């Protein structure tokens, strides 16, 4: 038995028959921009890293507020900062 808990029929494939990541949809020919490989049959390493991080957060956080977390992700993506931090640019090295 393969280690994957996902039944084979759930695995999604693109038009060329290449397996798609079950989270982000990347394939062998269309990998994540950051570069990824397969962690599981149909789960790429980029998505796996996020799953692990969120699982750790779920265990560690006082209150697991997914909506608030998602808002934070949006802020991060859009580069928004709270007014208290305004003026202090994130050091981008
Ligand atoms: Zn992925
Ligand atoms: Zn990927």
24 alpha carbon to ligand 2 midpoint, in Å? 7
Spans of all domains in the chain: 8-79
35 alpha carbon to ligand 2 midpoint, in Å? 7
Please answer whether residues 49 and 21 qualify as being in contact, where contact means their C-beta atoms are separated by less than 8 angstroms: no
Q: Which two tokens stand for residue 34?
A: 């950051």
23 alpha carbon, closest ligand: 1
Quote the pLDDT of residue 10.
77
By C-alpha distance, which of 46, 14, 41 is closest to 30?
14
**Measured CA distances, 31 to 13, 58, 76 (Å):** 13, 28, 22
15 alpha carbon to ligand 1 midpoint, in Å? 17
Q: Return per-residue pLDDT of the chain as tens, 93 residues.
A: 556 665 556 799 999 999 999 999 999 999 999 999 999 999 999 999 999 999 999 999 999 999 999 999 999 888 876 655 555 555 555
pTM: 0.72
Quote the pLDDT of residue 45.
98
84 alpha carbon to ligand 2 midpoint, in Å? 35
């Amino acid at each position: 038995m393969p280690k994957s808990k996902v039944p084979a029929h759930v695995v999604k494939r693109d038009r060329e028959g290449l397996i798609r990541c079950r989270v982000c949809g990347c394939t062998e020919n269309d990998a994540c921009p950051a570069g990824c490989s397969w962690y599981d049959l149909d789960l790429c390493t980029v998505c796996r890293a996020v799953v692990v991080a969120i699982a750790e957060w779920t265990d560690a956080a006082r209150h697991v507020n997914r909506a608030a977390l998602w808002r934070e992700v949006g802020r991060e993506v859009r580069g928004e900062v709270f007014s208290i931090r305004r003026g202090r640019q994130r050091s981008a090295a």
